[in-house]
Amino acid sequence: MPRSPSNSKAARRGAADRQAKAEAFRRLHRPGSPLLMPNPWDAGSAWLLSGLGFAALGTTSAGLAHSLAAPDGVDRLTREVVLANARAIVEATDLPVSGDLENCYAGTPEGIAETIRAAAAVGLVGGSIEDTTGDPADPILPIDTAVERVTAAVQAAAGLEVDFVLTARADNFLYGQADLADTIDRLQRYAEAGAAVLYAPALPDLAAVREVCRSVDRPVNVLAGSKFAVAELAEAGVARISLGSALSRLALGAVHRAAQEILEHGTFGFSESAIPYGKANALMAQRAQS
């Protein structure tokens, strides 16, 4: 059945809006002036962060998994669950949102392409693909296999009706394989395959960050941590700083500490640092009225 004119117009407006967000998101990746991209784990945290002055948001697979009482890891969550969460976050903010798509929930190029198309369909303007296997004994894919998978994601993104900023991850350090040379080789190969942004989580120090940024010709994302400051990462040439699951773990930590206080001391001092009920309600009321 043909779409009605009104539906066609709405679809065009939606596509134009996503294209504008995607173009803005791509422009925000400036080496030496990094985009600060926090990672909400649900609609409420997305709405709160979007009103504080950030320019873009990213989803977090770990934050989502923990909110569902599941551990983080390859294939712990389904594509449907992850993209439903992404859609809720996209709909809670006017900011561009990039998706943590883990291994793209697929073992074939066709499956990877399907994930990229589905991610764009829920409103994400970018997303990542990892080079992990899910096998603790052998956690990192052979480089040629990883390149093939990045290529499939790049080709799928290129076939979309709107721009999609693909981030390719080299996860060596995240899984205890402290091989900087191999990490850089992988990132260079992923750039050659067409990835728009490169990401090596858990780099050990600023020297490693500088070496990565010097060695590639794409914007580099770095995972924030207590050992780094924004100014130091900017000086190193970083183009984007993400927080991963840090904010969601901070929230879990606050609940854990509050529960311990109640059970161990019989006091409720934690409530003094909680956001006041009226303020929390007012924040969410603004969302309901928007």
Residue 6 has pLDDT above 80, yes or no: no
Identify the band that residue 15 occupies on the pLDDT scale cut at 50, 70 and 90. Answer: confident
CA distances to 228, 246, 247, 257, 281 from 253, rounded to whole Å, are 21, 10, 10, 6, 22
Average pLDDT, the chain: 95
CB-neighbour burial class of residue 214 (10 A; exposed 0-12, middle 13-18, buried 19+): exposed
Identify the band that residue 170 occupies on the pLDDT scale cut at 50, 70 and 90. Answer: very high
pTM, entire model? 0.93
The span from the CA of 102 to the CA of 122, in Å, is: 16
Task: Answer positive or negative: Cα dihedral of 77, 87, 49, 157.
Answer: positive
Residue 1 has pLDDT above 80, yes or no: no
Share of the chain above pLDDT 90, in %: 89
Q: What is the 3-state secondary structure (H, E, C) of 253-285?
A: HHHHHHHHHHHHHCCCHHHHHCCCHHHHHHHHH
Identify the band that residue 181 occupies on the pLDDT scale cut at 50, 70 and 90. Answer: very high
Predicted pLDDT of residue 160: 97
- Which CATH architecture best describes the domain 21-245? Alpha-Beta Barrel (3.20)
Q: What's the token pair of residue 58?
A: 């990213």
pLDDT in tens, 187-234: 999 999 999 999 999 999 999 999 999 999 999 999 998 889 999 999
CB 221 within 8 A of CB 242: yes
Predicted pLDDT of residue 76: 87
Predicted pLDDT of residue 213: 98
Considering only 73-77, 93-97, 199-203, which range has the smallest mean pLDDT?
A: 73-77
pLDDT in tens, 107-162: 999 999 999 999 999 999 999 999 999 999 999 999 999 999 999 999 999 999 99
Residue 3 has pLDDT above 80, yes or no: no
Identify the band that residue 262 occupies on the pLDDT scale cut at 50, 70 and 90. Answer: very high
Residue 92 has pLDDT above 60, yes or no: yes
